[in-house]
Amino acid sequence: MNPWNLSEEELKERGGLCTAEEICQQPDAWEEALAMVQQQAEHIEVFVRPLLAKKNLRIIFTGAGTSAYAGDIIAPCLRERTGRDVLSFATTDIVSAPYQFLQADRPTVLVSFARSGDSPESIGAFELAEQLVGEIYQIVITCNPEGALAERAARMQEHTMTLLMPPQTNDRGFAMTSSFTCMLLTGLLIFDMENLADNGALVKRIAACGRRVLSAGHGLPELAAAGFERIAFLGSGALYGLARETCLKVLELTGGRIAAVAETVMGFRHGPKSIVNDRTLVVLWLSSDSYTRRYDMDFLRELAQDEGDFKVLALSAAPDEQAAGLADYLLVLDEGADRQWGNDGYLALGYVLFDHILALAASMHKGIAPDTPCPSGSVNRVVKGVTLHPLEK
């Protein structure tokens, strides 16, 4: 049984079977992605370790839309752990203004996330890096071995590494779900290979939690049926990247019928909080970092004191009595944990399942087919209508 309590036939009739299956396959896909990294551990270390020894190295994570948000989550975590210059720039930014994001005289690793690898911006960013950066190394993490990006990377093996995700993660549905989380996981793992055993155990734990979340549903389909017109997603640090991704998922799967915004927890006070009205759901991803979490809790207290009929949904890695007393709803990833655990990069893997359940339920509640939420074709699974202009030096 799935969290929406709908049969396969019902999901098919409502145009959501592909997306539902891809959401539910994620814990298994994470374990497969982990196994693939473990199997290629020596190859990955041989490629990555010498790069990390370069003192002035830049590591840039890139992608478009959901793929870019994977980098937004990873970059702060890796920057904190290594103290290195780790950045996240969307391919859409790099392609349109390459000199503002690429530095010719700095050794650079460009990590490209791409579900299909066929979007023009993915190819454009890859080629601009080759053209503009004197010492460039490329890592392509993709779900499609036959995509244009994978094919280009295969022709440049000396300074390029391609990592393919489990085949089923080349999502058939419109929205990226299992593709996003598997690429996110792989990006987290490959720059921390010395701790692969410990991180592997953490992935197994998160996968087990994910299966429980998908089995229980936690009342999210019912919450989606409450008819919220606006949702604000808030996260601190790396979880701001998650807020951006979950915001996009709701916009995509509801065809824009629900207005969604993403902001940092502290930044929300500085104007964006104006979106909150009596038909708003505020979703706050609570950090696992004890210091950062203090600011999250401060804002929960502020929301609890504000007037209005808006609702607050807080999500935590472990049970938290204080948060439960402040939020209208508290959902917990690991009910059996006695304290907060993990880092926020890995925590995002489990957290995002709550949003996937909510977004799919909201889509169907609005009478939209989640697999094809934009039948007009103005927005497509693989972006169209982009012309790559030659760079004039």
Number of C-beta neighbours around residue 148 at 10 A: 17
Looking at CATH, the fold of the domain delimited by 8-195 is given as: Rossmann fold (3.40.50)
Looking at CATH, the fold of the domain delimited by 217-365 is given as: Rossmann fold (3.40.50)
Per-residue pLDDT tens over the stretch 270-290 = 999 999 999 999 999 999 999
pLDDT, averaged per 10 consecutive residues of the chain (393 residues), comes to 90 96 98 98 97 95 97 97 96 97 97 93 96 97 95 88 97 94 98 96 96 94 95 98 98 95 98 97 97 98 97 97 98 90 92 97 95 72 73 76
As annotated, the residues of the chain forming the CATH 3.40.50.10490 domain(s) are: 8-195, 217-365
pLDDT at 338: 83
Q: What is the largest CA-CA distance in the chain?
A: 60
pLDDT at 376: 64
Per-residue pLDDT tens over the stretch 160-195 = 999 999 999 999 999 999 999 999 999 999 999 999
pLDDT at 341: 81
pLDDT at 393: 66
pLDDT at 381: 56
* Pairs from 2-9 (Cβ < 8 Å, separation ≥ 24): 2/214, 3/213, 3/214, 3/215, 3/216, 3/217, 3/218, 3/220, 3/221, 3/357, 4/217, 4/221, 4/357, 4/360, 4/361, 4/364, 5/217, 5/221
Query: What are the tokens at 352?
Result: 């995002």
On the 0-12 / 13-18 / 19+ scale of CB atoms within 10 A, 117 is buried
CB 226 within 8 A of CB 369: no
